[in-house]
Amino acid sequence: DAGITQSPRHKVTETGTPVTLRCHQTENHRYMYWYRQDPGHGLRLIHYSYGVKDTDKGEVSDGYSVSRSKTEDFLLTLESATSSQTSVYFCAISVQDRGGTGELFFGEGSRLTVL
Amino acid sequence: AQTVTQSQPEMSVQEAETVTLSCTYDTSESDYYLFWYKQPPSRQMILVIRQEAYKQQNATENRFSVNFQKAAKSFSLKISDSQLGDAAMYFCAYRSPRFVYMRFGAGTRLTVKP
C-alpha cells in the first residue's frame, strides 16, 4: 500500500462544467503523475509533478491543468469538461531513489463520465 | 519518442497451463527499465515484474517470468500454471532513465478458463 487516495472515485458531470480530481499521498514522495486510461490506448500521461509548484505536461495535456501547492496533494482540473474526457483517471507516485527503477504505485482510479 | 506495442488485445489460457504475452518497444537508448503491470477487475494497478535493460538475466517472480530480448526490443511475459486470479488486463511499460515518467502499451486482456 503506497498510501495514495483519489477523490472522487466516481463522478458524472455535464459538458462545460469544471471538474477537479484530487490525489493525496501520505509518504512525501517527490514525483506524482496523472494518467488517463482509455480502451485501446492503455494509460497515457496527462501531467506530472516533480515538487511543490513544479509541474510539466505529458502527452495528452490539452484541456487539463494541474496544481501542487503541498507535497502530499496533486490536483487535476478540467476547466470545461468535454465528452472526450470521459475516462478513468489514475494518480501515481514513484520513488526516484538513486539506483531505483522508478516503478509507479497507483491510486485506485477515478471514473469520470461527461454527459 | 519511445513507443510500446502490445499486439495481442486479448488472450485466453486454460487454468494450470502457460501463456505468453507479447510486448515490443521502440527506443534508441541502451539503458532503460521495463515493467509489466496487472489490472484485475478491481481496477487497481499492480506491478508484476520489472527488468533493467543492463541486466542480462531475465527477471522472475514466482509464476511470472520475462523473456527480455534487448536486440529485438522484445519483453514478453510468461505466466506459468495459470490461475483464475490471473485474469486481468496486463500492461507493458517502458521508462527511460532520462525521464521521470513511464510509457504504457495498450494492454492485453487475459482470460483464464476453468
* Span B42-83, pLDDT tens digits: 999 999 999 999 988 899 999 999 999 999 999 999 999 999
Amino acid at A36: R
Cα–Cα–Cα angle for B10, B15, B17, rounded to 5 degrees: 85
B24 burial class (0-12, 13-18, 19+ CB within 10 angstroms)?
middle
Q: What is the pLDDT of residue B107?
A: 97
Q: What is the pLDDT of residue B100?
A: 76
Q: Shortest Cα distance from A41 to chain B (angstroms)? A: 5
Q: What is the pLDDT of residue B43?
A: 93
Measured between CA atoms, the residue of chain A closest to residue B89 is: A42
The three cell numbers locating residue A110: 477515478
How confident is residue B4, by pLDDT bands cut at 50, 70 and 90? very high
Higher pLDDT, B103 or A95: B103
The three cell numbers locating residue B102: 513511464
The answer to whether A103 and A97 have CB atoms below 8 angstroms apart is: no
Indicate which of A38, A48, A103 best probes the interface with B, i.e. most B CBs within 10 Å of its own CB. Answer: A103
Show residues of chain B in contact with A42, CB under 8 Å. 4, 6, 91, 104-107
Q: What is the pLDDT of residue A28?
A: 86
C-alpha span between A28 and A57 (Å, rounded)? 21
